[in-house]
């Protein structure tokens, strides 16, 4: 059960703009710490309300106990006489804990395997025996009330005598036995509960729980929590006078506050050589109040986090600039939806909210995201990379829309694109039904992008199971979420490494098809960058004039005989014209693609018309393509194509539209000159050509390579 109120309730509770503005930072959100502080303030307002102690309380830690039997146990301590004593008639109170008791028990949880919570109220472990529950109750007096930090805080409070009386009672003989006996009499077996005290200061008064009795309990709680902010791990007293990095106020700052994203940890000494944990307040100065508010951000921060490829990816929404009251209500609603998003990723949930809330749409560029990936290499050892405050929802959404447009183009949809020049031929590349990267629905694409599967299907997998900051799949995901372009050389390297790993008994044409769809989408969305010779690869497809009508006036592109060659030529010409990386002034890349296209088409012919199991692609796999071998491989393949043409009594050369362009391109390649491309680039475009060629068949199962054999054409 969540204590978070629905957005409408939050809005009613904080409808007063002036009052809400007073609870918000008075400066713009410019850093992750600012953002976490805002999250912590909104969470505290929603769950514990305002007031000076609200940020220190943790009411959400025990909502699972609501309405459970025997979930609240307390010592009934009578302080109205000369000496403190347990109530003689009913020393133990046992109730069902509920939401109405949250403020009264004033619980402040402490994340420690051993030790006690900051508040006098302490949560037991799960399903504890009555004897163990009695021990927890006894420790409210012997451990909490007698603690040095608690005692020091009580000494400065007018009601400090209450804490002293509890400590004094804890020293009473046989007190533990009395508590155990009372617990045994009133508990019905094992339980999980909050254990605390209720005190009575007047003979005719009522027993009051800590939050009702006196602020001394909360003052002492705050003091103990403060002590953990300055003395945790190897630090013993990390506190000093400095300027708070969130509020900008000068004053005492602490150095060992917890961090929901694990950015600043005492054990991360490798990030700060020679680091002294006691001087952490200099490195990361935040005041006590800011520190606990940052810690309270964890629920909202965790809602914006998901795990993929060995890393936690964070996608934290915020509004650029100073947060106003209306902004705060909208941001709370957005975070509330993220907490209740179920299996939906933060990206998907945020996009759904964006579509449903007009004010978010009106914000435009103000609606931003902090994006980062955090990898845990071992216990409490984290690596943070790729973090950015400038992520926008529009970058990943535009990528999915660009991907949609690519899939709906004639490259992948022969029937759905009116600009496709050759309706009788297949689309340029295959689209297998069981690959979700080929599903054109926006919601599906957004899901596979958000979860990282978008890059897992196309990039090289990690070398081992251990998470690594060098995993480019994670870096690509973070970059796309934050709107940062990817280096196209690196992308091609990832592609080819994956293809070489996949290449086995069959050519990985589906993988190539998926990679090219992604490459086109990234380019169209402006998410690729390339230097010098790689600039054309980073450019989007250039839509050119469609020659279909001109061709159909005299030579309709039919796949049922005589004009398949013309249809293929028109298709190839349009593909080359629309692909900047394959322009005539890019002979190396163009030559690699045409060589691959010829290998692919001959391979397709061998498989379909001759039923061969060993084909041309088996003889010339991807790894065979290098700069020095390119021309020789092309010469060998051209010779084989001529032999096939003669053996099958073709009227001309098989696949002449590819052959003619390949023969024209090869002389332009100067292998001994200044070679601008590397082997990876050539191999990718060779692979792309193979996939193109293998898919370049007409719908007729009886199609011949360039129309009918010569003898049959003469009969016609």
What DSSP letter does each residue of 471-494 carry, written as one string? Answer: -HHHHHHHHHHHTPPEEHHHHHHH
Question: Which strands make up the sheet holding 381-392, listed edge to edge?
Answer: 305-308, 311-319, 367-378, 381-392
Are 84 and 155 in a shared domain? yes
Task: Determine, yes or no, domain membership for 629.
Answer: yes
Q: Which two tokens stand for residue 229?
A: 């902010």
Give how far Cα 376 sits from Cα of 307, 537, 585, Å.
11, 35, 47
- One-character DSSP codes across 338-381: HHT-TTS-HHHHHHHHHHH-HHHHHHGGGEEEEEEEEEEEETTE
Place of tokens 């391109």: 665
Give the distance from CA 16 to its chain's centroid: 35
Q: Which two tokens stand for residue 665?
A: 């391109």
Domain containing 674: what range?
A: 564-715
Q: Which two tokens stand for residue 690?
A: 């193979």
Are 152 and 38 in a shared domain? no
HSE value, Cβ hemisphere, 13 Å, CA-based, for 443: 4
Are 209 and 253 in a shared domain? no
Task: Determine, yes or no, domain membership for 401.
Answer: no
Are 160 and 308 in a shared domain? no
Task: Determine, yes or no, domain membership for 485.
Answer: no
Place of tokens 């020049």: 421
Final residue of a structural domain among 158, 181, 214: 214
Are 14 and 67 in a shared domain? no
Of 237, 198, 168, nearest in space to 77 by CA: 198
Are 711 and 592 in a shared domain? yes
Of 43, 52, 34, nearest in space to 298 by CA: 43
Final residue of a structural domain among 366, 391, 416: 391
How many domains does the chain contain in total?
3
Residue 91's pLDDT is: 96
Intervals of the chain under pLDDT 50: 266, 268-270, 545, 547-562, 699-716
* Cα–Cα distance for residue pair 689/658, rounded to 1 Å: 10
Task: Determine, yes or no, domain membership for 219.
Answer: no
Are 85 and 32 in a shared domain? no
Are 41 and 68 in a shared domain? no
Are 251 and 348 in a shared domain? yes
Neighbour-count burial of 16, counting CB atoms closer than 10 A to its CB (0-12 exposed, 13-18 middle, 19+ buried): exposed
The residues near 379 (Cβ < 8 Å, ≥ 6 apart) are none
Q: Kind of pairing, strands 92-95 and 85-86?
A: unpaired
Place of tokens 């030529």: 569
Are 35 and 77 in a shared domain? no
Task: Determine, yes or no, domain membership for 402.
Answer: no
Residue 698's pLDDT is: 59
* Cα–Cα distance for residue pair 335/344, rounded to 1 Å: 13
Are 678 and 570 in a shared domain? yes
Give the distance from CA 190 to its chain's centroid: 40
Are 15 and 161 in a shared domain? no
* Cα–Cα distance for residue pair 266/96, rounded to 1 Å: 40
Task: Determine, yes or no, domain membership for 133.
Answer: yes
Task: Determine, yes or no, domain membership for 555.
Answer: no
Q: Note whether 139 and 116 are within 8 A (CB).
A: yes
Q: Note whether 315 and 363 are within 8 A (CB).
A: no
Task: Determine, yes or no, domain membership for 403.
Answer: no
């Amino acid at each position: 059960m969540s204590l978070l109120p629905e957005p409408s309730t939050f809005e009613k509770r904080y409808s007063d703009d002036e009052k809400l503005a007073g609870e918000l930072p008075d400066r713009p959100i410019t850093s992750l710490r600012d953002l976490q502080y805002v999250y912590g303030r909104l969470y505290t307002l929603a769950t514990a309300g305002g007031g000076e102690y609200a940020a220190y309380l943790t009411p959400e830690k025990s909502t699972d106990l609501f309405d459970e039997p025997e979930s609240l146990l307390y010592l009934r301590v009578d302080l109205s006489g000369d000496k403190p004593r347990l109530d003689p008639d009913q020393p133990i109170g046992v109730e069902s804990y509920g939401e109405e008791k949250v403020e009264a028990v004033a619980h402040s949880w402490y994340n420690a395997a051993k030790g006690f919570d900051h508040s006098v109220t302490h949560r037991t472990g799960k399903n504890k025996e009555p004897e163990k529950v009695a021990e927890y109750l006894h420790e409210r007096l012997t451990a909490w009330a007698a603690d040095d930090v608690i005692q020091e805080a009580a000494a400065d409070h007018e009601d400090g005598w209450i804490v002293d009386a509890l400590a004094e009672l804890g020293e009473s003989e046989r007190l533990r036995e009395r508590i155990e006996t009372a617990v045994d009499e009133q508990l019905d077996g094992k339980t999980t509960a909050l254990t605390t005290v209720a005190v009575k200061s007047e003979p005719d008064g009522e027993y009051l729980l800590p939050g009702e009795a006196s602020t001394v309990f909360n003052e002492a709680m705050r003091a103990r929590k403060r002590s953990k902010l300055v003395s945790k791990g190897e630090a013993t007293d990390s506190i000093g006078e400095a300027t708070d990095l969130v509020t900008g106020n000068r004053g005492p700052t602490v150095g060992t506050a917890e961090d929901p994203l694990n950015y600043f940890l005492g054990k991360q000494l490798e990030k700060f050589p020679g680091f002294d944990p006691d001087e952490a307040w200099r490195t990361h100065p935040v005041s006590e109040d800011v520190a606990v508010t940052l810690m309270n951000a964890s629920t909202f921060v965790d809602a914006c986090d998901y795990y993929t490829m060995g890393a936690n990816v964070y996608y934290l929404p915020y509004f650029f600039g100073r947060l106003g009251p209306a902004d705060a209500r909208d941001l709370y609603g957005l975070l509330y939806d993220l907490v209740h998003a179920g299996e939906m990723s933060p990206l998907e949930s945020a996009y759904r909210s964006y579509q449903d809330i007009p004010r978010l749409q009106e914000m435009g560029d103000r609606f931003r995201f902090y994006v980062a990936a955090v990898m845990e290499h071992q216990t409490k050892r984290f690596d943070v990379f790729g973090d950015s405050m400038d992520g926008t929802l529009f970058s990943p959404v535009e990528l999915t829309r660009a991907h949609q447009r690519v899939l709906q183009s004639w490259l992948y949809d022969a029937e759905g694109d009116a600009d496709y020049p050759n309706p009788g031929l297949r689309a340029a590349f295959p689209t297998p039904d069981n690959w979700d990267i080929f599903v054109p629905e926006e919601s599906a694409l957004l899901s596979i992008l958000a979860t990282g599967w978008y890059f897992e299907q196309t990039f090289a997998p990690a070398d081992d199971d251990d998470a690594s900051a060098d995993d480019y799949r994670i870096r690509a995901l973070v970059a796309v979420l934050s709107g940062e372009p990817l280096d196209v050389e690196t992308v091609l390297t990832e592609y080819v490494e994956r293809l070489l790993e996949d290449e086995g008994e069959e050519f990985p044409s589906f993988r190539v098809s998926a990679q090219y769809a992604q490459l086109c989408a990234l380019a169209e969305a402006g998410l690729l960058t390339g230097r010098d010779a790689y600039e054309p690869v980073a450019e989007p497809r250039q839509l050119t004039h469609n020659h279909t009508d001109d061709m159909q006036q005299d030579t309709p592109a039919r796949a049922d005989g005589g004009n398949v060659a013309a249809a293929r030529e028109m298709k190839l010409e349009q593909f080359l014209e629309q692909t900047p990386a394959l322009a005539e002034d890019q002979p190396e890349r163009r030559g690699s693609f045409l060589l691959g296209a010829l290998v692919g088409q001959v391979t397709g012919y061998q498989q379909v018309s001759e039923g061969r199991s060993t084909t041309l692609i088996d003889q010339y796999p991807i790894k065979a393509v290098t700069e020095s071998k390119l021309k020789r491989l092309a010469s060998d393949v051209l010779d084989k194509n001529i032999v096939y043409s003669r053996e099958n009594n073709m009227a001309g050369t098989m696949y002449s539209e590819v052959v003619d362009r390949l023969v024209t391109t090869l002389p332009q390649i100067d292998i001994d000159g200044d070679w601008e491309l590397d082997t990876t680039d050539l191999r990718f475009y060779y692979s792309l050509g193979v996939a193109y060629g293998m898919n370049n068949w007409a719908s007729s199962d009886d199609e011949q390579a360039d129309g009918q054999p010569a003898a049959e054409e003469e009969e016609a």
